[in-house]
Structure 1
Amino acid sequence: MTSSTTSPAGSALPPRAGRRCHNVLNSLHSTHYFSPDSAQELKEYGITHPAAVNFALRAAAMGPVGPGTVAATFYNYKYEFVAAHVPAVWRSATPEQAGAARLRAVDTTLRRLLGEELVASPEMAEAAGLALRATEACGRGARPLYAAHADLPVPDAPHLAYWHAATLLREHRGDGHVSVLLDAELDGVEALASHTATGKGMTPKWVFATRGWNQEEWDAAVERLRGRGLLDGEGELTEAGAALRRDIEEETDRLDRAPYEHLGAEGVERLTELGTLFIGTALQAGAFPANLLGKG
C-alpha cells in the first residue's frame, strides 16, 4: 500500500483513514445485531431463534433468497447452519416485513443507546450527510450485499439515514473483503480462525453460536492454517500469518478506497470524529457483550 491516496479535491488521505472511518461507522451499524429490540420486532412473526433473526435482518434486502445465496454472501457462516433457517424464515415474514422490522428495531436501539438529544442533534444530521456523500462513490459490480441494500430507500430521519449509509459502506467493504479472502485461499472458518488469532475477531464461543461451526471444525481449520505456516503450535499467528492478515486488510482497503477518496480527507476526518462520538456513547450504554472479542 502507498502511504496515502489522493481525493478528487486533491487532499491526500492519511494511511488507513478509510479503514478507521469504516470501523467506527460499522461498529454503530452492528449494535442492532446484539440488541433485544431486533428479536422483539421479529417475535410477532414467530421468528425467535437468534440465527433466524440475524438472517432475516441482513438478508431481507436480497429478497426471498435460499441458503446458498445467504451462505455465499455472508461467507463465514456454515451452510448447514444457514439452511436450518433459510428459506423457512421467509414463510414467517416476507423480506419486506423483515426489512421494516429491522428499521424499527434500529430506531429503538439507537434512541436507547445514544439518547434522544444526540439522535436529534445537528451532529447526527451532519454525519448522515457526510456518510451518504461517501456512498455516492460505491459501486455495485461484484458486490451483491451492497447492491441489494443500495436499492433500498434512504430513511428520512437523520439517525436512520446515518445508519443506512453505514450499512451501505459496511456491505461495500465486506463484499470486497470476501473477494480478498478467496484470493488468499481462506475458507469461511479459516478466515474466522485467523482473524480470531489477531485478537480482534470473535472468540470461538461466539463463532460457534453465531456462525454454526463446532469445535471439531474449528480445530481442523486451525490445523490447516498450521499446515500453511500461518499459525504456530500454540495457535498464534506466525510471521507469515500476521503478514497475510495485514495484506488482506490492506487489499480490502484498496478495493474500498473509492467512497473515502470521494469524501476527501477533511470529510473523512470529520465523519470519523462524529462516528467516534456516537459509538463511544453506545459502548458506554452497553451496546455489545463484554466477552465478544478476543482469542479465548
Structure 2
Amino acid sequence: MTDDRAGRRCNNVLNPLHSAVYFSPEFTGEMKAVGLEKEPGSVFTAGGYFAARSAAMGPVGPGTVTATFYNFNHELIARHIPVAWTVASPERVLAARLRAADGMLRRMLGEEAVASKDMAEAAELAVTAARAAGRPGRPLYAAEADQPIAEEPHLAFWQAATMLREHRGDGHIALLTHAGLDGLEALVSHTASGRGFTPRAARSIRGWSRAEWSAAEDRLRERGLMDAAGELTDAGDVLRKELEYETDRLGSAPYAALGAAATERLTELAGAFAMSALTTGAFPDGLFGKG
C-alpha cells in the first residue's frame, strides 16, 4: 500500500465508533454500576473514562495516565486515578466498558446491522489490521492488544477499532513530543485547526482553565505558530499538517498488512456504520468545531 493517507481515512471512520462509547448513556450507566459516577454538569464520566482507557495497562498511577493520554491536565487525572482502582478493579472496568460498547452499538446501529454479514466482514478486516500493528513504543495499543478478542463480531470490531485508534494515537504523541508541543499546546493548536473540540469543550473535558489555555496560546505565539486572533499562522498550519502526515507514516503498518483493497473495503463498511452512529446522536451537540 503506497498511500499512507488511506490509513488516516480508515481511522477517521473507525475512531468515532470507538470514542462514542465514552459519551454514551450505556457507558455512564455501566460505570455507575461499578461505582464510578458522572460528575454533575460533565458531558462524560471522567473517572470512568480515565479508568476505562487505562485499565488494560492494569491499576496504573496518575503519572502513567497523564503520559499516555498526553493532553489532559494531570491534576484532573489525579483526582480520579488511582482512587478508581479502590472502587473497581481494571478487570471489572474493562468488562463494564465492553458491555457499554455492546449496548451502544445495538442502540445506534440496530440489531440487524449488528448481526449483519457486513459487520462480520468489517470485524474480520479490522481485527486483521489491528493484529498487524507492532507493540514497541505503543503503550496504549500494546495493552489493548493483550486483551482477548470477543467472539461476537460487533464487539470484536469495536475492540479492533479501539486498538487501531490507540496505535495511531501512540505514534502521534511521539511526534508531538518531538515537535516540542506539550499536551496543552498540542490541544490548543489542534483546536485552532478546527478539526477537534471547540475551545470550551476542550477546556472542560481536558481539565484546563482559561488562564492555562491563554498561557499556552502565548507560548504558541512566541514560536510563531499562532496569531493574535488565536488562529494558526502559516507556520502553525504547516506544522499541524506535517504532524498528521508523519502520524500517517508511523501508523501505516496495520493497513499495509491489510492491503489497499481490503483497507478501502474496511473504510467503506466502517464509514456506513459511523454515519449511522452520527445520525443517531453519537456525540453531544456543540462538541466539535471552532465554536
Choose which of 142, 149, 159 in structure 1 pairs with 2:144.
Answer: 149
Aligned to 1:135: 130
Partner Cα separation in structure 2 for residue 263 and residue 245 of structure 1: 27
Aligned to 1:238: 233
Aligned to 2:162: 167
**Secondary structure of 2:194's match?**
coil
Deviation at 1:27, TM superposition (A): 1.1
Choose which of 282, 288, 293 in structure 1 pairs with 2:288.
Answer: 293
What is the TM-score normalised by the length of structure 1? 0.95
Partner Cα separation in structure 1 for residue 204 and residue 218 of structure 2: 21
Give the alignment's Cα RMSD to 1 decimal. 0.9
Choose which of 87, 91, 95 in structure 1 pairs with 2:86.
Answer: 91
What is the TM-score normalised by the length of structure 2? 0.96
> Is 1:223 aligned with 2:212?
no
Aligned to 1:48: 37
Runs of 4+ in 1 over 2 A off after TM superposition: none
**Deviations 1:136-168 (Å, cap 9, x if unpaired)?**
320110111011111000001000000010011
Aligned to 1:80: 75
**Deviations 1:205-251 (Å, cap 9, x if unpaired)?**
21122111110000000110011100111111110000000000011
Seq. identity, %: 59
Report the residue type matching 1:215 in the other structure. R
Structure 1 stretches of 5 or more lacking a match? 1-6, 8-12
Partner Cα separation in structure 2 for residue 147 and residue 42 of structure 1: 24
Aligned to 2:22: 33
Choose which of 208, 213, 217 in structure 1 pairs with 2:203.
Answer: 208
Report the residue type matching 1:143 in the other structure. R
**Deviations 1:26-71 (Å, cap 9, x if unpaired)?**
1111110110111101112221132101112111111100000000
Partner Cα separation in structure 2 for residue 52 and residue 136 of structure 1: 29
Q: How many equivalent pairs are there? A: 285
Aligned to 2:264: 269
Aligned to 1:59: 54
> Is 1:188 aligned with 2:177?
no
Report the residue type matching 1:233 in the other structure. A
Partner Cα separation in structure 2 for residue 295 and residue 286 of structure 1: 19
Aligned to 2:194: 199
Report the residue type matching 1:189 in the other structure. L
Partner Cα separation in structure 2 for residue 14 and residue 139 of structure 1: 19
Deviation at 1:15, TM superposition (A): 5.4
Aligned to 1:17: 6
Partner Cα separation in structure 1 for residue 261 and residue 233 of structure 2: 37
Report the residue type matching 2:287 in the other structure. L
Report the residue type matching 2:17 in the other structure. L
Choose which of 89, 113, 116 in structure 2 pairs with 1:118.
Answer: 113
Partner Cα separation in structure 2 for residue 14 and residue 181 of structure 1: 22
Partner Cα separation in structure 1 for residue 4 and residue 256 of structure 2: 12
Q: 2:108·2:282 contact (CA, 8 Å) conserved in 1?
A: yes
Partner Cα separation in structure 1 for residue 164 and residue 258 of structure 2: 12
**Secondary structure of 1:201's match?**
coil
Partner Cα separation in structure 2 for residue 25 and residue 198 of structure 1: 21
Aligned to 1:3: none
Deviation at 1:97, TM superposition (A): 0.3
Report the residue type matching 1:204 in the other structure. P
Partner Cα separation in structure 2 for residue 220 and residue 251 of structure 1: 27
